[in-house]
Amino acid sequence: MQYKFEQPVHGSIGALKYQCTIEWRNGKIIADEPATNGGGDTGADPYTLLLSSLASCTLITLRMYIDRKGWDIPEIAVNVNMFQEQAGEQTVTYIDRDIVFLSPATDVQKMRLKEIATNCPISKILEGDIKVRTFIFRDVEEAKTVKYANEEVTVLWKPELCQHSKRCWTELPQVFDYKEKKWINPSGASAEELANQIKRCPSGALTFLNNK
Ligand code: SF4
């Protein structure tokens, strides 16, 4: 398991209905709800953000392909929209993507670009098998704690809080090895690496202490 991003996309909301700040590696964007849903419409709503992801991925993928081929198609655009239908117990979501050629292109080029668009990375994610895992950080003082220490550092693990995200043992296997009974070896990495990894635990199961 390896995350796509070193730092996760970070979102936060205060009391102002329903303005969210989304921080990404090079800036911030605002998300909100329209006035009809009680928001201030100060930023794109979540459905728009979802469709924007597909629109931008489509355009970037097509631009890369057009440039690689050396085709003279300076401008393309895309319109993306969605609707939902009930099929028995299931809600089926349809996303329609219309590719618009603002510069002339041959029919062969258009058909090839349609095929390329259907294979853009976000299309593949949306049409593939998606699982959203949700973790929650808890700070339960009285939870049973197991201690793993060397001279320099101590790692505390609260098994009842662990939500089995696999983050620790896939990202720092030289320290965390779930196959071992004594599964945390605090000497397997530097104190800094260990502290950084423990900060990524989403459940509050791990605590790092510097013994010095
Ligand atoms: S990172 Fe935390 S929650 Fe995930 S498996 Fe390790 S201890 Fe458990």
Structural domains of the chain, count: 2
The yes-or-no verdict on residue 212 having pLDDT over 90 is: no
Task: State both tokens at 113.
Answer: 């670009």
pLDDT in tens, 26-37: 999 999 999 999
- The answer to whether position 140 is within a domain reads no
112 in the same domain as 52: yes
Q: How far is CA 102 from CA 111, 190, 210, in A?
A: 16, 55, 61
Residue 119 CA to ligand 1 centre (angstroms): 34
Rounded-to-integer distance, Cα 187 and Cα 131, Å: 34
Of 58, 92, 127, which residue constitutes the final position of a domain?
127
- The answer to whether position 205 is within a domain reads yes
Q: Which residues contact 41 (CB under 8 A, 6 or more apart)?
A: 32, 33, 34, 35
Q: Which residues contact 92 (CB under 8 A, 6 or more apart)?
A: 84, 85, 86
49 in the same domain as 111: yes
Mutate to test the pocket of ligand 1, among 146, 155, 167, 175 (most ligand atoms within 8 A of CB): 167
Task: State both tokens at 200.
Answer: 């990524």
- The answer to whether position 179 is within a domain reads yes
The yes-or-no verdict on residue 118 having pLDDT over 90 is: yes
Q: Residue 91 belongs to what domain range?
A: 45-127
Mean pLDDT of the chain: 96
Nearest by Cα to 68 from 99, 101, 109, 98: 109
Ligand 1 atom with the smallest distance to the CA of 165 is: 4
Residue 108 CA to ligand 1 centre (angstroms): 51
167 in the same domain as 117: no
**Span 101-121, average pLDDT:** 96
Q: Is the dihedral of CA 69, 71, 77, 80 positive or negative?
A: negative
Q: Tell me the CATH number at 85.
A: 3.30.300.20
What's the one-letter identity of residue 184? I
Of 69, 95, 127, which residue constitutes the final position of a domain?
127
List the residue whose alpha carbon is closest to atom 6 of ligand 1: 168
153 in the same domain as 107: no
Nearest by Cα to 12 from 21, 4, 3: 21
Q: Tell me the CATH number at 166.
A: 3.30.70.20
* Residue 1 pLDDT level (bands cut at 50, 70, 90): confident
Q: Are the beta carbons of 79 and 105 closer than 8 angstroms? A: no
151 in the same domain as 122: no
Rounded-to-integer distance, Cα 2 and Cα 155, Å: 23
pLDDT in tens, 167-198: 999 999 999 999 999 999 999 999 999 999 99
pLDDT in tens, 41-96: 999 999 999 999 999 999 999 999 999 999 999 999 999 999 999 999 999 999 99
Rounded-to-integer distance, Cα 77 and Cα 70, Å: 18
- The answer to whether position 29 is within a domain reads no
The binding-site residues of ligand 1, defined as CB within 6 angstroms of any ligand atom, are: 162-168, 201-203, 205-206
* DSSP tally for the chain: helices H, then strands E: 5, 8
